[in-house]
């Protein structure tokens, strides 16, 4: 299966308009954002666990990265509340489940094999740092080679300097409304901008985003 699989193309998806599709496990459904492969695939998805649902034990041959959007996601390593950011490195294994149900943004098979750092960060408790311009706050989550992952807060009316991300850019809008020269992006919008894409981001209203750059070469 190929869905938005060409990383040289710009993609904008309003995820809340997508249908939920059943996974192989009962009670686990997905909104597919990008996919290159079948059940084992390079993929970015919104995944929803019904109460008491689970996925069987499995190994992430290309690593796994996820952000808990609501509810509590669990595995044998712990419980992850809303706002928790997790990276499970290449060849890690677990048995995920959710007692009361949850929704996560998850990325599969998109890690460098040498990046073996497991990361667990509560973004509701971690420290925010002031940005270089007024109205901008940053929370670094992970960095490896050219890849950088962060949470970003933009106060209403804040405009970032125009930038060219040579390694590409990915954004998921968690709160508020983001915009650039090509459109306006409310909560739940997923954007993928290819390497070399230039734009000017600003906040239509107070805005919280997950942003990843430098990983699409």
pTM over 0.85: yes
pLDDT digits (tens, 9 = 90+) for 125-158: 999 999 999 999 999 999 999 999 999 999 999 9
**Between 81 and 59, whose confidence is greater?**
81
All domains in the chain, ordered by first residue = 2-7+19-122 (2.60.120.10), 129-213 (2.60.120.10)
Residue 101: pLDDT band (50, 70, 90) is very high
What is the torsional sign of CA 153, 147, 102, 37? Answer: positive
Over 90: is that where the pLDDT of 55 sits? no
Over 90: is that where the pLDDT of 39 sits? no
Give pLDDT, residue 183: 95
**Between 71 and 162, whose confidence is greater?**
71
Mean pLDDT of 171-194: 97
Beta-bridge partners for 80: 73
pLDDT digits (tens, 9 = 90+) for 104-118: 999 999 999 999 999
Rounded-to-integer distance, Cα 175 and Cα 41, Å: 29
Least confident of 32-36, 97-101, 163-167: 163-167
Mean pLDDT of 70-90: 96
For 185, list phi and psi in degrees, rounded to 5. Answer: -130, 105
Mean pLDDT of 171-179: 97
CA angle at 214 for the pair 30 and 4, rounded to the nearest 5°: 35
Over 90: is that where the pLDDT of 214 sits? yes
Q: HEC string of 92-129?
A: EEECCEECCCEEEEEEECCCCCCCCCCEEEECCCCCCE
């Amino acid at each position: 299966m190929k869905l938005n699989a060409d990383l040289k193309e710009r993609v904008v998806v309003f995820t809340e308009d997508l249908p939920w599709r059943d996974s192989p496990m009962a009670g686990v459904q997905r909104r597919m954002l990008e996919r290159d492969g079948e059940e084992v695939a390079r993929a970015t998805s919104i995944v929803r666990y019904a109460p008491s649902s689970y996925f069987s034990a499995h190994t992430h041959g290309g690593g796994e990265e996820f952000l808990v959007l609501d509810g509590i996601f669990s595995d044998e390593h712990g419980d992850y509340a809303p706002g928790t950011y997790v990276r499970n490195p290449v060849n890690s294994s677990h048995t995920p489940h959710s007692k009361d149900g949850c929704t996560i943004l998850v990325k599969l098979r998109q890690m460098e094999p040498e990046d073996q750092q497991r990361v667990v960060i509560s973004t509701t408790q971690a420290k925010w740092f002031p940005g270089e311009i007024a109205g901008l706050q940053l929370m670094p989550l992970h960095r490896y080679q050219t890849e950088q992952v962060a949470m970003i807060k933009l106060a209403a009316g804040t405009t970032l300097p125009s930038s060219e991300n040579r390694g590409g850019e990915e954004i998921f809008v968690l709160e508020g409304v983001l915009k650039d020269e090509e459109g306006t992006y409310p909560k739940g919008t997923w954007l993928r901008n290819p390497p070399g894409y230039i734009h000017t981001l600003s906040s239509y209203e107070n805005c919280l985003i997950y942003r990843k750059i430098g990983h699409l070469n």
